[in-house]
Chain A
């Protein structure tokens, strides 16, 4: 079984530019989560999809962040325009039912 896949693994962009992160969950997993870890701090929740619907987006920092999950399969997280404080590692996780969440290896985002 393929795990959660995230692309790109690393992205370096300048402040003000746009970046789009992609997550492919484990096949058949209805739940998809985005998390972020900034500078060695705790991993913080951003938002939760159930299939294609946003179940909870209470962790999204501001309206520069836009997440989509068209068709209930893969998800994208777009940051536009990127700011310096957006740097960090963005993790995607998926789960089904009451099973634990499985995480991807993350996208390391560096804003210069």
Chain B
């Protein structure tokens, strides 16, 4: 039973446009959410996180939105660049730090020049 779901296996976006990656979760105990980016043959790289006391966190071109009542979060990338092409994983845990992460299956983003 998947607790973190990324229902879109892939997404294609034109360079310069906005990329929106979605993630849903089922466990009400999750209070801390992260996005990781993964290139082939490399490990996941931390992108951005958000705790449940916030509904938005921004870091440069990356913004994460959290809708706790809907158990939904999204990652916005604006503007999208070809180097953003990678697999994006949504992850969750009950607290920030010191606990294992529960991952979604990932969404493959392709940014087309």
A interface, CB within 8 angstroms of B: 4, 6, 31, 33, 35, 40-45, 48, 50, 56, 59, 91, 93, 95, 97-106
B105 x A42 contact (CB < 8 A) = yes
A43 x B100 contact (CB < 8 A) = no
B97 x A43 contact (CB < 8 A) = no
B101 x A101 contact (CB < 8 A) = yes
B4 x A42 contact (CB < 8 A) = yes
Which of A41, A48, A103, A105 contacts B100, CB < 8 Å?
Answer: A48
The interface on chain B, measured as residues whose beta carbon lies within 8 A of the other chain's beta carbons, has a size of 24
A-B contact count (CB 8 A): 58
Separation in Å of the B58 CB from the closest CB of chain A?
Answer: 16
The distance in angstroms between the C-alpha atoms of A56 and B93, with both chains bound, is 14
User: Knowing that A42-B104, A43-B101, A44-B103 are A-B contacts, what are 16 other residue pairs whose CB atoms are under 8 Å apart, sorted by A's residue number?
Assistant: A4-B43, A6-B43, A31-B98, A33-B100, A42-B4, A43-B89, A43-B103, A45-B100, A45-B101, A59-B100, A91-B44, A98-B96, A98-B97, A100-B46, A101-B46, A103-B45
Task: Using CB atoms, name the residue of chain A closest to B49.
Answer: A100
Contacts of B46 in A (CB 8 A): 100-102
B2 x A42 contact (CB < 8 A) = yes
